[in-house]
Amino acid sequence: MTRVIIVRHGESTYNTVRRIQGHLDESELTQKGKNDAVTVGRAISNISFDAIYCSPLKRAKQTAEIIHREIKANVANLDNIPPLQSTEKLKEIHLPLWEGMLSLEVKEKFPEDYKLWQENPHKLRMLIQNGKTSVEYFPILELYKQAEKFWQEILPQHQNQTILLVAHSCINRCLIQAANQISPGYMQHLHQSNCCINILNFADKVQIESFNQTQHTGESLPSLRPNHQGLRLLLVRHGETDWNQQSKYQGQIDIPLNENGKLQSEKLAEFLKDVSIDKTFSSSLLRAKQTAQIILKHHQGVNLELNDGLKEIIHGLWQGKIEAEIEQEFPGELQRWKETPENFQMPNGESLQQVWQRTIEVYESIIDTALTNKLNTVLIVAHGVTNQILLCHILGLPSQNFWNFRQNNCCLNVIDYPKGKNGLPLVQAINIKVKG
């Protein structure tokens, strides 16, 4: 497996005033940007890297240099630290007509194009003068191609290694999208905070282990966008059970949390204690219900609504068995489930399509109710399969991409609807693992 850690640069002088940067190399890190870069370096200093790449633009290169310095300061053998390599393929998006302008100025001067950028960024077109002729240029599509070329070039060089990339908001999103077959049109569905950490695993399938983690910078949850007027959704997987610990397939067998699962839930409850929650929905299975109840100890009076539609997939004859037993009784079936989940049905259980349909129906109903009633924050506690389905749905992925998302026990995902019912969902974080 090749592991890739992707970091966005620290806060820059242009970020503070919301000025479009793109290829411009005038802005530098603020003191906060430098401080956050230090925390990133310390947070990942326990990882042994085989290569470190960065964008050549100043704000990313400064961030990478600080991270590189911190990694060196925290290891005994400097011979094991790879050099910092700059590559043009990690440069930020090129927005030639907008660079240097404030976002507000772009919105006022190019209202239609700005709206397109926000809602359908892959359709944004700019005409660039090349001598006496105008050349048609699609910034996001070009950046997406750049990301694809980067993976094609870099991955063969680092098979079964761990590499670090330090770059920018848009190129980071395109790297993650291209790796996971997420359409370029979904770029505005993903967010990158300054100095956030993302982790991708490349094996038989690509997996997002972690997305837009910000805890190391002191920001527990990614901040709401300016002018946020919609809903924040906190999507949680239940805590650990004995069957999780033993790697047994649970499905809809009603197994309670074990002591570690309760401890995980307590840590998440502490993490969320200062977050205002308006309503909570949970799978009716005991392990999810218990997780929700523990979280709500800090939120007295918040209604908990149980919903059968959020239950885990029925594993049928696999329930209660570990993989070795399943392989012995149903040879080759596990491999089919992992390789082509979209065409698979558990023996005497559910197909992924059946779970997909009931999960999305419940989710859309919850979102519609929350937005109609102008709720600010809603908590949903469910299961690995249901959460992975929801992340696919939000990012426009079909069921064959079901395995692209890791969901650890008691992890937290954050999805915002910053513009309410008429706006796009924004994935703020995936698989936050609360430490305590």
Which residue in the list 70, 240, 312, 350 is annotated as catalytic?
312
Q: Residue 102 in contact with residue 110, Cβ under 8 Å?
A: no
Write out the two tokens for 300. Answer: 């007295």
Residue 138 neighbours by CB distance under 10 Å? 16
Q: C-alpha angle 108/110/112, rounded to 5°?
A: 110
Comparing 419 with 319, which gets the higher pLDDT?
Answer: 319
pLDDT of 402: 92
Given 187, 217, 247, which residue is the final one in a domain?
217
Q: Are 59 and 42 in contact (CB under 8 A)?
A: no
Residue 375 DSSP one-character state? -
Residue 350 located in a structural domain: yes
pLDDT at 257: 98
Q: Are 428 and 416 in contact (CB under 8 A)?
A: yes
Per-residue pLDDT at 436 exceeds 70: no
Does pLDDT of 183 surpass 70? Answer: yes
Give yes or no: residues 268 and 392 share one domain: yes
Last residue of a domain, one of 217, 242, 277: 217
**74 and 154 part of one domain:** yes
What is the mean predicted confidence (pLDDT) over 215-221?
91
CA distance 54 to 386: 36
Percent of the chain residues past pLDDT 90, beyond the cut: 89
Give domain status of residue 125, yes or no. Answer: no
Strand order across the 2-8 sheet: 84-86, 51-54, 162-167, 2-8, 197-202, 206-213, 426-432, 412-417, 231-237, 377-382, 279-283, 304-307
When the pLDDT of each residue in the chain is averaged and rounded to a whole number, the result is 94
What pLDDT does 106 receive? 96
Say yes or no: 176 and 325 in one domain.
Answer: no
Residue 126 lies in a domain: no
Q: Are 149 and 290 part of one and the same domain?
A: no
pLDDT greater than 70 at residue 362:
yes
211 and 307 inside one domain: no
pTM of the model: 0.95
Domain hosting residue 356, numbered range = 231-432
Using the predicted structure, report yes or no on whether residue 245 has a pLDDT greater than 90: yes
Asked whether residue 342 falls in the same domain as residue 210, the answer is: no
Residue 314 within a domain: yes
The region of weakest confidence among 25-39, 76-90, 106-120, 375-389 is 76-90
DSSP secondary structure string for all residues of 240-258: -BHHHHTT---TTS-PPB-
Asked if residue 14 belongs to a domain, the reply is yes
Instruction: Say yes or no to pLDDT of 129 above 80.
Output: no
Of 155, 182, 217, the residue at which a domain comes to its end is: 217
Residues 185 and 266 grouped into a single domain: no
Asked if residue 293 and residue 154 are part of one domain, the reply reads: no
- Cβ 163 vs Cβ 153: under 8 Å: no
Answer whether residue 206 is part of any domain.
yes
In a domain, 347, yes or no: yes
Q: Do 235 and 209 share a structural domain?
A: no
Phi/psi of residue 345, nearest 5 degrees: -125, 130
Which of these, 225, 169, 212, 191, lies nearest to 418 by C-alpha position?
A: 225
Residues 89 and 205 in one domain: yes
381: its two tokens? 């506690």
Residues 212 and 246 in one domain: no
DSSP 150-212: HHHHHGGGGTT-EEEEEE-HHHHHHHHHHHHT--GGGGGGB---TT-EEEEEESSSEEEEEEE
**319: closest CA among 254, 363, 275?**
254
- How many independent structural domains does the chain possess? 2
CATH number of the domain that 188 lies in?
3.40.50.1240
Question: Tell me, what amino acid is at 400?
Answer: Q
The pLDDT of 251-280, averaged and rounded, is 96
Q: What's the whole-number mean pLDDT along residues 382-404?
A: 96
Query: Is residue 68 among the annotated active site residues?
Result: no
* 76: pLDDT strictly greater than 70: no
Residue 312 appears among annotated catalytic residues = yes
Query: From the candidates 168, 191, 238, 383, which is the catalytic residue?
Result: 238
* Cα separation, 234 vs 249, whole angstroms: 25
Cβ atoms of residues 115 and 107 within 8 Å = no
Claim to verify: residue 262 and residue 383 sit in the same structural domain: yes
Q: Which parts of 301-431 fold into alpha helices (H)?
A: 323-329, 333-339, 352-372, 384-394
Q: Does 322 map to a domain?
A: yes
Lowest mean pLDDT among 81-90, 156-165, 220-229, 269-278: 220-229
